[in-house]
Structure 1
Amino acid sequence: MEVIREAPLLRYLRWAKKFVKFFILSLLCLSFAILLLILYLRSQPLPETFVKQTTTIYASNGEVLDTMHRGENRILVPIQEISPALIDATIAIEDRSFREHYGFDWKRLAMAAYIDVINMDMRQGASTITQQLARNLYLTLDKTWDRKIKEALLSIQLELNYSKNEILEMYMNQIYYGHSAYGAQAAAQTYFGKNAKDLSLAESTMLAGIPKGPTYYSPFNDFERAKSRQKLILDSMERDGMISSKQADQAFAEPIKLKERTNENLAEQAPYFRDYIASLVKNKYGIDEELFIHGGLKIHTTLDPVMQKKAEEIVASVLPKDSPNLQAALIAMDPDTGYIKAMVGGRDYKTSQYNRVLGKRQPGSSFKPIMYLSALQNGYTPLTLMKSEPTVFTYDQNKQYIPSNFGGRYAHAMINMREAIKTSDNIYAVKTIDFLGPQKVVDEAKSLGITSNLQAVPSLALGTSPVSPLELNAAYAAIVNKGEAVKPIAITSIEDNQGNILVEEKPEKTRVADPVASALLVNMMQSVFERGGTGFRVANEINRPVAGKTGSTDYDAWLSGFTPQLVSTVWVGYDKNQKVDDVKEGYLSKKIWAQFMEAALKGQPPALFDMPAGIVSVYIDAQSGKLATEHCPTPQLFYFASGTEPQEYCTDHLPENEAPTPLKPPDSSTFWQRMGSWWKPSD
């Protein structure tokens, strides 16, 4: 029987037919698998990511006071706010096929894979912009196959979920440019001191070269190396038709002006204020540390950078260099709004970060105006008389308190409230609190803004309960505001990175004291800077109406006071129970206060303390306490709540059989009002 053998050609054709079917089927299966993978990846959300952005703190005039980033300075901007030249330069050097591929550059990938296989490692990179973005957003920089697979899948997801411009925008805001600058905006500000949208072609090509090696190609570190990298990028842009040869040559020849590098350390302006802002953000407004540092917040503050600089300079110049442990604190506010304008928490932030504006110390006699405000609302007038002499006070049935005047000096005569404030008479003060009852003074202090615990004892009149400069300053603001308390404000608003308002603070005034009593107290506090007053020593340094009160203890020296535009408090002393020399060191609080107030208000005309309705002014004979006549030798102008002024005329100096002729109070054309009418700001 004959066996018919199949021709080789037929067998080959049959095998080829089966192979084609298998190939088509495999291709269909692969396509189907790819389709399923794409559909699956398209349906899956990308991993959550928190892009760290720089939080910016602004002064009241819009200047940047500080940036918070802890080594990752990033300011997100839309792609429209990035120079097209920088975008083109980045594409030319990082991923010239970016606009055409779907996340992978297959030619570069194949070459990289071949080299990796030959070398049996991962040393060759072929990452596209999309792959780099996926790695930076979601992955580590480990060179493993597992990471590369994840990177590939995430790149596909990015391409499926975002347009090319959206991917490019994310990439340009994510990439690291060295010197803690992440993203094009932070980099442009770091290297050139300008916004990313304003970069020239020359600046753009230099910046685009840095991410390849942020330290190696930084123009700060090696300018010539950065120029060499810039030339490579310009050539790449010319090759791809992005620029002409002439443009490339001009850009390379253009002088590059780098931003002067500042020493970003503890010596920055207003360090104590910046710490105070951080505390408020986290503790008062409940914003967590991560969002505060990396959330891209915009924090608008009340700080006046001009006043702040003057405050820091004056504290540094007045405190003696041969007493390095002597400290100072200064706080200044706008009494109308409560806006904090300046804050100095110590003489050297690098040495000590403790903010003494918030620390609590005994205010001494600078607490007395709070008590006198209470007295004026409870029957006292500026002419209320008490005898200044050594006195023993008994309280709580059998307890004794024996205050004394500074230096053992007593008038040994009847003095009025104005004289008591002017000379800081302690006996008058303790007699006043004895009349009122200490608890009434505690309640008055609380209503004015004192939050510290106060002991309701006779010595409270002399400021024995510790308070902070910030608290005392707020209380003085209520006094100059004619009895309206205003809360201290350091932050006006906080915006998130989308521009949404998270926090907004507006001035809030609350009526806490009688306006007439407050105005009378302000008038009497002006006497502190008159001859014989405790602040007279620095009166010649102030060229405008001011009012205030000094205070001293063995360990503290204070001066708190105001004009209608500004209220400030200065404390001087030591941190560790070292006594203050009242003559040499105690005087420094007055000097700092006077110099600061004059410097801070330079350029503003002198302002008067106006009197509200319900106040009358009359001349008083100093000896009799009655209405002065034209024959009284030493008449003094006093202000009273209408109806509380004396009604009897002094007859001690009248000629025989002559009727008293009262002295008329001055008209409104006082020295300061006349001065304000012609005042012009100095150059």
Structure 2
Amino acid sequence: MTLFGLLTAAGGGYVLLRYGALPAGSVPQPTQLLGADGTVIAQLEGGVNRRSVRLADISPWLIKATLAVEDRRFYEHRGVDVRGLARAAWTDVRHLSKRQGASTLTQQLARNLYLSHERTWKRKLKEAWYAARLEQTYTKDEILELYLNQIYYGHGAYGAEAASRLYFGKSAKELTPAESALLAGIPKGPSYYSPHRHPKESRQRRQTVLQVMKDTGVISSATADEASHTAVSVRPLPEEPEGTAPYFADYVLKIAESKLGIDERLLHDGGLVIRTTLDADMQRKAEEAIRDGLPPKSELQGALIAIDPRNGYIKAMVGGRSYRGNQYNRVFASTRQPGSSFKPIVYAAALERRIVTPATRFRSEPTIFYYDNDRKIYQPSNYADRYFRTEIGMRQAIAASDNIFAVNTIMQTGAESVIAMARRLGIGSPLKAVPSLALGTFPISPFEMASAFSAFANGGFKYTPLAVLSIRDSKGNTLYEAHPRGEQVISPALAFVTTQLLESVFQKGGTAYRVSRLLARPVAGKTGTTDSDAWTVGYTPELATAVWLGYDKGRAITSGEAHRAAPIFANFTESALSGSASPGLFTMPEGVVTALIDPVTGLLATDGCPNPVLETFLSGTEPSASCYVHGSAKEKTGGTASQKSGAWWKKLRHWWN
């Protein structure tokens, strides 16, 4: 470039900087959450809470705290703090990480007024230019006043006055040093440092602000010490209508911020449109099922999550009986034992290894199991000490939830294989390779259980659960678009055989048979009960659902309370799918065979077996021998001497083996 060109560019830059007009400041716009069909399910913060006041009407303690923690050289720089930028860069280089920010208070104001929160050099350059123009257009005190009236303090409050009244019920002019330090610490992370959502982190942040004020000399040691030991009373948040799917809305915000990198302030007032996977009608029916299924005036809690196994879309989510009463989302509670609802994972691992088949029989009676090279023992028991006192097959064991059969299965299969199966199905919670794993003694969240069972429902092909389909800004630009991801985690044949066995839970003799009258479609699943938890996890080809009931403090549940989980599952599943053209059927894939089995021996039924059962097997695992107990119809009517002798020899050989 020639000297003339350089001079022209420099002159143009000076004129633009000196006389270029600032754009109109942005007006906060609520972010909308849409369901899968485009209906609005939530509008974040429900509006903007803002009250503008003069700088003179803001406590000097808050002003000092804000400047100390956000921009201690505010009155020395001209919009961009070159010294601060160099110091932050040097710190980052020394630690090989981004530890310090370098944005001045003026730059933050420019970003909030005029720019998006994308992390690009182009936005950074614009931010610096706008900051310089603000410094040329306004005095320092005017900029500080604009900042303190504009900054976001969480829970819909913009500006010091609105925040002071929200948290403390007083004007910003009346704030004490302790209250000012708490408030000044919030803008760095309005959700994370909220005294309502994270009181511990809020207190720690307040102490940090006071220490910085003390270190920079804007507050005396005595005042800082007194403020640090002063208890700050924070007002409860005003009650607001729960709206549609409040637990799901919180989950979407968490995903958008922590996993997709969307700036928190942009999420709340950037006018974003977030399209989600939620089915508004299913959500309403899920909330009704939980509300109607829990006893009134009780502390018994419930959670429900439903996933479409065909794409991983989260269709409904209820995290508790009342969001207003408690915002804790129990769908993600990883402290609850699934009990017998974990057994299908055990049986899937066993079937896959072909060590155990649906025809395998174990004796149902009190049994002592030895493990860890026979150095340890495990003695499980059945519910209410009820045993068949005879050999039973896998279908009967699943239907009746026989614990002895399940532990025999894991002992034959290997606990490590069961854990490997759980991991493939998407369960990430800690599990130990011990016999009690078969009975669901290690905590797993309802979210993980529904996700795992969705693989059984979809022929072994499991999608990663998905909540957010797309995010667009106020101008319609796409910030994020989802692409469902899935993989074949188990074979279609294994998924089908497991499903056929789990259908028995809703048939005569099954633990959920009492709710079969509520269901007008094929359903597979498993119930589970521990001392403090009740589960029903089940699925159709269109929907995989986990229902959990229990008390937050883990107190024991009664038998009557435990029996409420299955009706909630059945009522929700049937009502959620009532609009389907016809009930979905589980389709038999290749690699599966069926055979008539004698339920007494587990062998191929003869024409003399009185109650043959049609059983499903992975190809090659079906029995090859015929029933030796009942013989054929011809034998029952007499038969020949040689036939009778052959039948006697078969019985003797079976007894000897």
TM-score range, shorter chain: 0.5 to 0.7
Query: Corresponding residue for 1:516?
Result: 493
1:570 Cα shift? 0.3
Q: Structure 2: how far apart are the matches of 1:438 and 1:616? A: 27
Instruction: Say yes or no: does 1:387 pair with 2:363.
Output: yes
Q: Which residue of 1 aligns with 2:574?
A: 598
Distance in 1, matches of 2:376 and 2:26, equals 64
Letter in 2 for 1:271: P
Deviation readout 1:245-289 (Å, 9 max, x if unpaired): xxxxxxxxxxxxxxxxxx992421111111111111111112121
Residue 46 of structure 1, CA deviation: 1.8
Query: Is 1:346–2:323 an aligned residue pair?
Result: no
Paired residue for 1:331, among 305, 325, 329?
Answer: 305
TM-score by length of 1: 0.62
Partners in 2 of 1:596 and 1:556 — Cα distance? 19
1:468 aligns with 2:445: yes
The code of the aligned residue for 2:288 comes to E
**1:501 aligns to 2:501 (yes or no):** no
State the distance in 1 between where 2:291 and 2:23 align.
52
Decide whether aligned partners of structure 1 residues 519 and 47 sit closer, same or farther in structure 2, where only a CA change above 3 A counts. same
Matched, 1:586 2:562: yes
Mean Cα displacement is larger for which, 443-452 or 490-499?
A: 490-499
1:615-634 equivalences in 2 (<5 Å)? 615-634=592-611
Letter of the 1:353 counterpart = Q
Secondary structure, aligned partner of 1:571: strand
Aligned to 1:58: 34
Percent of matched pairs sharing the same residue: 48
Count the aligned residue pairs: 447
Work out which of the residue numbers 357, 361, 375 in structure 1 matches 2:331: 357
| Separation (CA, whole Å) in 2 of partners of 1:536 and 1:363 | 20
Runs of 4+ more than 6 Å apart: 38-42
Matched, 1:538 2:512: no
Instruction: Check whether the contact 2:30–2:47 (CA below 8 A) recurs between aligned residues.
Output: no
Q: Are 2:629 and 1:649 aligned?
A: no
- Matched residues in 2 for 1:377 and 1:39: separation? 75
TM-score, with normalisation over the residues of structure 2?
0.64
Which sections of structure 1, spanning at least 5 residues, go unmatched?
Answer: 1-35, 75-133, 139-149, 156-173, 175-179, 183-262, 661-683
Query: Are residues 472 and 48 of structure 1, via their aligned partners in 2, closer, same or farther at CA, if it must alter by over 3 Å?
Result: same
Question: How far 1:42 sits from its partner (Å)?
Answer: 7.7
How far off its partner does 1:395 sit?
A: 2.0
Structure 1 residues 271 and 629: alpha-carbon distance in aligned structure 2, compared to 1, 3 A threshold:
same
Unaligned runs of 5+ in 2: 1-11, 51-109, 115-132, 139-149, 151-155, 159-237, 645-657
Deviation at 1:154, TM superposition (A): 7.2
The equivalent residue for 1:316 is 291
Asked if the contact 1:53/1:69 (under 8 Å) is kept, the reply is: no
Query: Counterpart of 2:267?
Result: 292
Distance 1:349 1:377, change over 3 A: same
Equivalent residue for 1:487, pick from 440, 464, 480: 464
Describe how 1:75-474 pairs up with structure 2 within 5 A.
Answer: 265-322=240-297, 324-360=298-334, 361-379=336-354, 380-397=356-373, 398-474=375-451
Q: Deviations over 1:584-624 (max 9, x none)?
A: 10010001001000100102111111110121111111122
User: Separation in 2 of the partners of 1:453 and 1:49?
Assistant: 50
Aligned alpha-carbon RMSD (Å): 3.0
CA distance in 1, matches of 2:31, 2:339: 41
Instruction: Supply the AA of the counterpart residue of 2:410.
Output: I
Deviation string 1:628-657 (CA, Å, 9 cap, x unpaired) is 233321010101122221223335242234
Q: 1: distance between equivalents of 2:294 and 2:607?
A: 49
CA contact (8 A) 1:542 1:598 kept: yes
Aligned to 1:538, the other structure's residue is in SS state: helix
Following superposition, the deviation at residue 522 of structure 1 comes to 0.2
Task: Please give the per-residue CA displacement for 1:92-139, whole angstroms capped at 9, x wherever unaligned.
Answer: xxxxxxxxxxxxxxxxxxxxxxxxxxxxxxxxxxxxxxxxxx9x979x
Question: What amino acid is the match of 2:267?
Answer: F
Instruction: Supply the distance in 2 between the matched residues of 1:41 and 1:283 (Cα, whole angstroms).
Output: 37
The aligned amino acid for 1:332 is A
Distance in 2 (alpha carbons) for counterparts of 1:567 and 1:602: 15
Name 1:638's counterpart in structure 2: 615
SS at match of 1:427: helix
Q: Partner of 1:667 in structure 2?
A: none
User: Which is higher, the Rg of structure 1 or of structure 2?
Assistant: 1
Q: Secondary structure at the match of 2:546?
A: strand
